Amino acid sequence: MIAFLNVNAMIANVQKISESPVLTKQQHAHQFLRSAILSGSMQPGERIVIDTVASELGMSPIPVREAITQLAREGLLTIRPHAGAVVSDIPKHAIEEIFALMEALEQAACRLALPDLGESEIAELEGMCAEMEAAELPADWAQLNRRFHEAIPRLAGLGRFEELLVRAGEDWERLRLLRFTQARPEDIELANREHREFIAILREGKLRSAEKWIREHNRNALKRYLAG
């Protein structure tokens, strides 16, 4: 059974990250559970007790059931006979699939987006780089780094690519928290320099160079995590 140790804080976090000022009850339950799973507050194998969640959120069980169905479609929950919904596991070897997916999505998004990236979009990427360079905590830098890698499709209005990249990034962050907390720390200074190089490539409109950068940047990160 899930122990809701800090429900108010989790609810506040869901409300803060939501882009919509008003959520339906199903959306609220979905974001509440999703945030708990992605943050590691709910661990693989933990059972979702619908009545408990509904009581904690002050709603009927119906929107919680609907949220669970959606989360099962997203792969975050597994419906088991006689057990109901449990938090899905994510195996260590999934790292290679996730990184390959992120690489393919970033390259395809870049190919479609490059003709539409003007100076204002480049300037926004440069602003994100400046934020990363000024970040004092590795956790803050990591969040900004994810935003940077998800920025290309957003800046070009490629909503489907953006959604898929966000999902892949969430899968990776969840896997990292579960399986790779002891990995060698990111070389932040090197990554910051590489991000600046990528922006210069985009400004010059060099698609092949941009695709090569994405491939090497992602595969170098993968090697670092696989090396432990």
Does 104 lie in the same domain as 21?
A: no
Q: Which residues contact 223 (CB under 8 A, 6 or more apart)?
A: none
Does 126 lie in the same domain as 56?
A: no
Q: Which domain holds residue 180?
A: 94-226
DSSP 92: T
The total of structural domains in the chain comes to 2
Query: Quick check: 87 and 48 in contact, CB under 8 A?
Result: yes
Does 174 lie in the same domain as 142?
A: yes
Asked whether residue 2 is domain-assigned, the answer is no
Asked whether residue 118 is domain-assigned, the answer is yes
pLDDT digits (tens, 9 = 90+) for 35-86: 999 999 999 999 999 999 999 999 999 999 999 999 999 999 999 988 899 9
Query: Quick check: 200 and 213 in contact, CB under 8 A?
Result: no
From first to last of its 228 residues, what are the pLDDT tens digits of the chain? Answer: 344 444 444 444 444 444 455 899 999 999 999 999 999 999 999 999 999 999 999 999 999 999 999 999 999 999 998 889 999 999 999 999 999 999 999 999 999 999 999 999 999 999 999 999 999 999 999 999 999 999 999 999 999 999 999 999 999 999 999 999 888 889 999 999 999 999 999 999 999 999 999 999 999 999 999 997
CATH number at residue 61: 1.10.10.10
pTM of the model: 0.83
Angle between the N-to-C axes of helices 207-226 and 94-113, in degrees from 0 to 180, rounded to the nearest 10: 160
Asked whether residue 134 is domain-assigned, the answer is yes
Does 215 lie in the same domain as 107?
A: yes
Asked whether residue 206 is domain-assigned, the answer is yes
Which tokens in the block code for residue 227?
């090396």
> Residue 32 phi/psi, 5° resolution?
-60, -50
- C-alpha pair distances (Å), 177 with each of 42, 69, 71, 181: 12, 24, 19, 6
E-strand spans in 23-142? 77-80, 84-87
Asked whether residue 19 is domain-assigned, the answer is yes
What pLDDT score was predicted for residue 21?
A: 58
